[in-house]
Amino acid sequence: MSQDNAAPTPAAEQGSRNLWLRVAAAVVLAPGALAIAYLGGWIWAVLATAVAIGLFLEWLSVVGAARDFRVLVIGCLTLLVCGIGLMFDKPGPAALAAVLGVGGLLVLNDQPRQWTASGLGYAALALIASVLIRHDPDHGFVALVLIFLIVWGTDIGGYFAGRGIGGPKLWPRVSPKKTWAGAIGGLVLSLGVAFGFALAGFGKIVPLLILAAILSTVSQLGDLFESAVKRRFGVKDSSHIIPGHGGLLDRLDGYVAAVALAALIGMARDSVDGIGRGLMVW
């Protein structure tokens, strides 16, 4: 058989299959997430709480603490209280509950207490930041969409630029497949997202481009952080709940980092009631 007619290699077949799984999962999940984000209010808080609990459970599985009943109870109750506080527009008590929950895990004698406490803080941060960003009734949804599209654009640009161009690895000890070309490709596509928002009248072009560059970079750092944690514990995927993507941690690592920073930027610019305006540079 000639080389031209040779069957695709198993690696190529697996890569193609994985790509289609990723696309199919995105087509199913992304519209649902956007629809609930559009509705906002308690239904968005419920989704954010459920996702935060899922992130925490996957984190425990990665660090080998999934069977510790006390950790499970403290963590899940903490996130439930946070979510309820946010549903009733009480971010202060929600943040206090998160601090107390993390402190509770730190005082447990069992190991790895620092890892379980970090996982609860990680999940609580994702929950609180996601709800606070959406809090602004006028601009919160647009702000969330901007974050979503920057993170998704970073992932998509990184995937195709990394595969199509290749080249030097970004950080081979942590993530052997990621390349500098992929990192730059993700950044470029995120800038395109910001440019589109500016053209649509959702902010000034220069601040939006700067914001996109920062959030894209932080998103990639969040991805690397999650990869480092998995490598530390010898885990490939946090779970297999999302076909082609792995688990919630695998899919949302960049989003968690980006939304947390976006919330901090919003709070630095304005009060909690003005997070949408602060983030979107109105």
* Digitized pLDDT (tens) for each residue of the chain, 282 residues in all: 434 444 445 544 555 566 666 676 677 788 989 999 999 999 999 999 999 999 999 999 999 888 889 999 999 999 999 999 999 999 999 999 999 999 999 988 666 778 999 999 999 999 999 999 998 888 899 999 999 999 999 999 988 888 888 788 888 888 878 888 989 999 999 999 999 999 999 989 999 999 999 999 999 999 999 989 988 888 877 777 765 557 888 889 999 999 999 999 888 776 434 434 444 443
Instruction: Give rounded-to-5 percent helix, strand, coil for the chain.
Output: 75, 5, 20
Contact 281, 204 (CB under 8 A): yes
Tens of pLDDT, residue by residue over 141-161, are: 999 999 999 999 999 998 888
Cα angle value 271/275/281 (rounded, 5°) = 110
Contact 192, 146 (CB under 8 A): no
- Tokens standing for 205? 């072009």
Output the pLDDT for position 176. 78
Contact 119, 56 (CB under 8 A): yes
pTM recorded for the entire structure: 0.85
CA 248 vs CA 35, 52, 61, 193: distances in Å: 19, 9, 12, 24
**178, 250, 105, 87: CA torsion to nearest 10:** 130
Which amino acid belongs to residue 142? V
Query: Which residues, in sequence order, are CB contacts of 81 under 8 Å at separation 6+?
Result: 93, 94, 97, 101
